[in-house]
Amino acid sequence: MTASVDQVMVSVTDGSLPQVLDDLREAGLVVDTVLEALGVVTGTAEVRAIPALQAVPGVIDVERQWRVQLPPY
């Protein structure tokens, strides 16, 4: 059975991009998109790596991504 992988989103402090990306990658984040205007990085990580991401200097919050579904008409 493979390790559980999740889509995550990471908010970082103002001015910490792009330096924080190397540390996030080292902590286990596979970076999908860097949202510079928002100071947010999205990507995937093993669920067990989330505490390590949270511990990276410059990181404010790490959350799993939610899914959204419109109701049928």
With CB under 8 A as the contact rule, the residue among 5, 18, 19, 57 that binds another protein is 5
Whole-angstrom Cα distance, residue 16 to residue 48? 24
Q: In whole angstroms, how close is the CB of 22 to another protein at the nearest point?
A: 21
Half-sphere exposure of residue 16: CA atoms within 13 angstroms, side-chain side: 19
With a CB cutoff of 8 Å and minimum separation 6, the contacts of 60 are 11, 12, 13
Interface positions, 12-51, toward another protein (CB under 8 A):
32-33, 35-40, 42, 47-48, 50
Q: Does 7 bind another protein (CB under 8 A)?
A: yes
To another protein, the closest distance from the beta carbon of 62 in angstroms equals: 8
